[in-house]
Amino acid sequence: MQSNYEKLSETWREKFLQLDQNSFTGKLPGVRLEQDQILFSYFGKNYRINRQSGEITGDDGSVPDANLKLLFYNLFWYSKEGAKFKGRWVPFREVKNASPFGPAFDAHVLKPFARTFDGQPDKLEEAAKKLSGIKLPQSDAGYQIPSFDCIPIRFLFWDGDNEFKAQANILFDYSVTDFIHVESTVSIASDGIKRLAKEAGLDISDSF
């Protein structure tokens, strides 16, 4: 039987097919249109959407789960004409319309991020480099990493010591909600931490 997420993913696949696909390359940097496919990447992995069916697969032939499909369809559906990177980096709570989700983001994204890499900033740095991260001067281990090409994210980490616990923050460009729905930014941040942990060979300290 299909789960609710699978049913919702199917609904969004049908909505995706209603869109003007030729508009994607103009408003979504990194998205490429071929005759039969739409190509894009997410945290360094390449994906393609069949332009006739809306089905999504990885370059390796894998099929993403329903949650990831929903995230991808949301990028194409919610991206706005004229969306533009602003160069104004803000924490999640200052993202447009994000404040109601702030406490949950702190508890289920930032705290697991900090605890996972507590005492292991070197592993975080190695993992970030594998995901094409750009070193930042802020924090003990700070990197800017592309999720989608149009949505770079800044992952900041301060290691703990005898007096203070490890701390972490995640910054978004203020334009992020011009590219995707605000709730999807939580999924993107969570996926980024999971990928960093995987590349570092670590288990997430707490479930998201």
Q: What stretches of 127-186 adopt beta strand conformation (E)?
A: 134-136, 141-148, 151-158, 167-173
46 DSSP 8-state letter: E
63 closest CA partner among 13, 121, 104, 129: 13
pLDDT of the residue at 163: 82
User: What pLDDT digit, counting tens, does each position of 110-169 carry?
Assistant: 999 999 999 999 999 999 999 999 999 999 999 999 999 999 999 999 998 878 899 999
Find out whether 72 and 83 touch, Cβ atoms under 8 Å: no
pLDDT of the residue at 1: 56
User: What pLDDT digit, counting tens, does each position of 14-54 carry?
Assistant: 999 999 999 998 889 999 999 999 999 999 999 999 999 99
pLDDT of the residue at 5: 82
172 contacts: CB under 8 Å, gap ≥ 6: 89, 90, 91, 92, 95, 151, 153, 154, 185
pLDDT of the residue at 4: 87
User: What pLDDT digit, counting tens, does each position of 176-196 carry?
Assistant: 999 999 999 999 999 999 999
* Rg, Å, the chain Cα set: 17
122 contacts: CB under 8 Å, gap ≥ 6: none
- The contacts found for 45-49 with CB under 8 angstroms, 24 or more apart, are 47/72, 49/16
User: What gap in Å lies between CA 55 and CA 48, rounded to an integer?
Assistant: 8
